[in-house]
Amino acid sequence: MVGARGAGIAQPLLALLRQSALRQSVPLPLHLPSHGRGAALAPELRRLLRQRPGSWDLPELPAFGGPLESQGAVAEAQRRAAKALGADACWFGVNGASGLLQAALLGLCPPGSRVLLPRNLHRSLLHACVLGDLQPLLYGLPLDPISGHWLPPPPEHLGQVLRAALSQGPVAALVVVDPTYQGRGADLAALVALAHGSAGGARGLPVLVDQAHGDGSALAAGADLVVLSLQKAASGLAQSAVLLAQGPRIDHQSLERSLLWLQTSSPSALLLASCATALDDGLSAAGQRRRRRAKRRALELRQRLEALDLPFVRNDDPLRLVLATAPMGINGLEADAWLLERGVIAELPEPGSLTFCLGLRPPPGLERRLGRQLLALRAALGGAPLPPFAAPPFPLVASLALPLGVAWRAQAVELPLQEATGAIAARPLVPYPPGIPLLIPGERLDGERTSWLLDQRHQWPGQIADTLWVVAPL
Ligand SMILES: Cc1ncc(COP(=O)(O)O)c(C=O)c1O
């Protein structure tokens, strides 16, 4: 290695990572990964990690192989996973759901094609559109005025979206997020049936379901491609994810080609083992018992907190406990900062809510400690309920004034937000988390959009600047 000695490069990282091993240093970790800092790590993976450190860090030896090899242990594990989950094929990924969503979209859609993406898309799908030269058609979703969350599209809503998009030309694929980050589920079977029955070619429109927060049930609902993040709803390490394919609309060679374009040439054996062990664990009787226990505790916790008059968002996943901060008169980002100072680490702060991920083995003493902190939060910051969230001024299906990749690479100038009406965005506006864009490159701002963004600036303190990068006039 060439460079200066004694720089202590690892020190900042190691100091934090060592501290996280001390239980008392983090009173309440309620964030992802779902294994809760190792408490619910897949048992087989835990056993592997007890082996001599590094002994598991193998290259793609012939016996081991990799996600794109037809022979070897990884290929065999992927075949078993596909069979167990009811898919035709399965690929493990070591770059999270992000990497597999990108490969899936590139595998489905030829360059230049139009693809229907929901407004609550994860930013990785936007990046895939740039890489694959795809035209994103962003479709609107209903918005819950109390929490400010995007809701899953009801079938009749999606029907309108499909008719509007298809009336303007062919569409290569539909993407649906299910469940949402906050644990709200869609009537997925009905949505998939609508897409398959729509005029997207002889076989209907293929559907890619982003189940980063889900359990693979999208396959039974008929989805053609499904991406799971195994650290979010299962017991895997961060970055372990799987892509599942089924049915006649999917060309496996095309998928494998896009996986090859995007995947590292040295996939981590540890992360591949994490994919396989998380799936085994999720399907095992012990894993399912653990999940049921965690859900029971979560439901009891929620009842207990509701009895203290604390408001929660109704959702379909008890392990995502979503405090409705807006009815308490508190912005979720401010609630998060306040709780963080007191050692309660939530997962997802948003203007109207704060999501706690309880994990597959919720921390001991959670019931007593969280209740106490939330009551203290209300006493410290609470007030009159915040006004309802206004539906954003988006068309049902939005196309871009300038192609995404062109706008993103264009020469850009910075304008005060107030002066941006009429301009075309050159950079996305993406509060993170959740990583959902409020504005994407190529979108033209009209007056309504500018005032909505000005309002968003107040709602996302510290996340949205006073200025916007827009495409420089020629
Ligand atoms: C809906 C959704 N999809 C995909 C992702 C990306 O997952 P990963 O972080 O595993 O790449 C996220 C991350 O938060 C997400 O919320």
Determine if ligand 1 sits within 6 Å of the CB of residue 117.
no
Q: Which pLDDT does position 169 carry in this prediction?
A: 94
Helix (H, G, I), strand (E, B) or coil at 107: helix
Determine if ligand 1 sits within 6 Å of the CB of residue 181.
yes
Is pLDDT at 22 greater than 80 in this prediction? Answer: no
* Res. 424 pLDDT band, cuts 50 70 90: very high
Determine if ligand 1 sits within 6 Å of the CB of residue 127.
no
Lowest mean pLDDT among 134-148, 196-210, 223-237, 439-453: 196-210
Determine if ligand 1 sits within 6 Å of the CB of residue 150.
no
Q: Which pLDDT does position 461 carry in this prediction?
A: 85
* Res. 201 pLDDT band, cuts 50 70 90: low
3-state helix, strand, coil in the chain (%, to 5): 40, 15, 45
Determine if ligand 1 sits within 6 Å of the CB of residue 210.
yes
Determine if ligand 1 sits within 6 Å of the CB of residue 139.
no
Is pLDDT at 255 greater than 70 in this prediction? Answer: yes
Ligand 1, atom nearest to 232 Cα? 10
For ligand 1, mutation pick of 34, 94, 98 (most atoms within 8 Å of CB): 98
DSSP character string of 407-441: HHHS-EEEEEGGG-TT-BBSS-B--TTTT--SB-T
User: 327-362 burial, b if ≥16 CB within 10 A, otherwise e?
Assistant: bbebbbbbbbebbeeeebbbbbbbbbbbbbbbbbbb
For residue 342, give the DSSP letter: T
Q: Which pLDDT does position 198 carry in this prediction?
A: 84
Is pLDDT at 200 greater than 70 in this prediction? Answer: no
Q: pTM to 2 decimals?
A: 0.96
Q: Is the dihedral of CA 126, 127, 130, 134 positive or negative?
A: negative
Determine if ligand 1 sits within 6 Å of the CB of residue 325.
no
Rounded to whole angstroms, how far apart are CA atoms 141 and 251? Answer: 29
Ligand 1, atom nearest to 181 Cα? 16
* Res. 27 pLDDT band, cuts 50 70 90: confident
Asked whether the beta carbons of 431 and 174 are under 8 A apart, the reply is no
- The set of residues, in sequence order, having a beta carbon less than 8 Å from that of 398 and lying 6+ positions away, is 137, 138, 139, 140, 443
Rounded to whole angstroms, how far apart are CA atoms 63 and 432? Answer: 40
Determine if ligand 1 sits within 6 Å of the CB of residue 241.
yes
Ligand 1, atom nearest to 32 Cα? 14
Rounded to the nearest whole angstrom, what is the distance from the C-alpha of residue 383 to the centroid of ligand 1?
Answer: 33
Determine if ligand 1 sits within 6 Å of the CB of residue 96.
yes
Is pLDDT at 28 greater than 80 in this prediction? Answer: yes
Tokens, residue 461: 């303190």
Tell me phi and psi for residue 89, to 5 degrees: -150, 155
Asked whether the beta carbons of 63 and 72 are under 8 A apart, the reply is yes
Amino acid at 297: R
Rounded to the nearest whole angstrom, what is the distance from the C-alpha of residue 149 to the centroid of ligand 1?
Answer: 16
* Res. 202 pLDDT band, cuts 50 70 90: low
Ligand 1, atom nearest to 241 Cα? 10
- Please work out, in degrees rounded to the nearest 5, the angle formed at the alpha carbon of residue 149 by the alpha carbons of 232 and 146: 135
Please classify residue 67 by burial: count the beta carbons closer than 10 Å to its beta carbon, then call 0-12 exposed, 13-18 middle and 19+ buried: buried
Rounded to the nearest whole angstrom, what is the distance from the C-alpha of residue 78 to the centroid of ligand 1?
Answer: 21
114-118/173-177 β-pairing: parallel
Give the model confidence (pLDDT) of 58-86 as tens digits. Answer: 999 999 999 999 999 999 999 999 999 99
Rg of the chain in Å (alpha carbons)? 23
What mean pLDDT do residues 389-413 have?
94
Lowest mean pLDDT among 94-103, 120-129, 280-289, 460-469: 460-469
Is pLDDT at 462 greater than 90 in this prediction? Answer: no
Q: What is the CB-side half-sphere exposure of residue 207 using CA atoms within 13 A? A: 26
Q: Which pLDDT does position 21 carry in this prediction?
A: 79
Rounded to whole angstroms, how far apart are CA atoms 20 and 264? Answer: 29
Closest CA to ligand 1's atom 14: 434
- The set of residues, in sequence order, having a beta carbon less than 8 Å from that of 164 and lying 6+ positions away, is 396, 397
Asked whether the beta carbons of 113 and 91 are under 8 A apart, the reply is no
